[in-house]
Amino acid sequence: MDVAFVSTNEGKFREVASLLAPFGVRVRWSPRTLPELQADRLATVARAKLAAVPASSRRVLVEDSGLFLEAFPGFPGVYSAPVYALLGFGPILRLLRGRTRAAAFRTVAALRWDGTVRLFYGEVRGRIALGPRGAHGFGYDPIFLPEGAARTFAEMGPAEKDAISHRGQAIRRAGAWMRRRAGPRARAVARRSDREQM
């Protein structure tokens, strides 16, 4: 079974494709720019993105993710992508001097599957590092230390990050739902994929 992942971020596409493969889901990348609604909730933005994809696309997945700083509730949150694109993460590091560095990454994945719309959530808590570390990933990955980890997301390999990340949680939940909806044939493909990876 196939689903179109709509995003201009190739790094996210690679993550999503890898995460959904064990569920028997093939991901097609649709690099389309979607509106970034100004709203206070990731779910609202994710729904708006999905609504912007033509209804002729019957099986579509989008997501919206944000970094949330405890010291500045709601920031950068739904504005994480434009803040990063405009300023990078330097200003965040300066803002947190002398303040709590606790933070959380959150994702909402929105799926349209043959007329049904479902939302799937993921969250990982952690803290902001004193400075950027690592060369993997994208966005804020070099400054985010997941709870209980000594390395940033950017210091982890893709498989290690996917196992604990906010996006990994949300996309795996979407994959499990798609596999249940698709029936026995898709489940057989997923089991075969699992065996090949052992």
Fill in the DSSP letter of residue 122: E
CA dist., res. 117 & res. 53, Å (int)? 13
76: cis peptide before it, omega within 30°? yes
Phi, psi torsion values for 71, nearest 5 degrees: -70, -25
Judge whether 141 counts as a catalytic residue: no
Q: Is 123 exposed, middle or buried (0-12, 13-18, 19+ CB in 10 A)?
A: middle
Every domain of the chain and the residues it spans? 2-196
| 198, pLDDT greater than 50 | no
Calculate the CA dihedral of residues 71, 75, 80, 84 and round it to 10 degrees. -60
Q: What percent of the chain has pLDDT over 90?
A: 77
CA dist., res. 5 & res. 178, Å (int)? 14
pLDDT value at position 186?
52
Extended beta strands in 138-187, E state: 144-146
Could you tell me the pLDDT band of residue 188, with boundaries at 50, 70 and 90?
low
- A 10 A CB-CB count for 118 gives 14
Could you tell me the pLDDT band of residue 128, with boundaries at 50, 70 and 90?
very high
Residues 39-84 have pLDDT tens digits of 889 999 999 999 999 888 899 999 999 999 999 999 999 999 889 9
Give first-to-last CA distance, the chain, whole Å: 22
Enter the CATH code of domain 2-196.
3.90.950.10
Residues 138-179 have pLDDT tens digits of 899 999 999 999 999 999 998 999 999 999 999 999 999 999
Catalytic residue among 2, 40, 64, 141, which?
64
CA dist., res. 4 & res. 102, Å (int)? 34
Q: Is 125 exposed, middle or buried (0-12, 13-18, 19+ CB in 10 A)?
A: middle
pLDDT value at position 190?
47
Structure tokens at 55: 């209804």
Tell me which residue has tokens 């994945």.
109
pLDDT value at position 127?
98
pLDDT value at position 137?
84
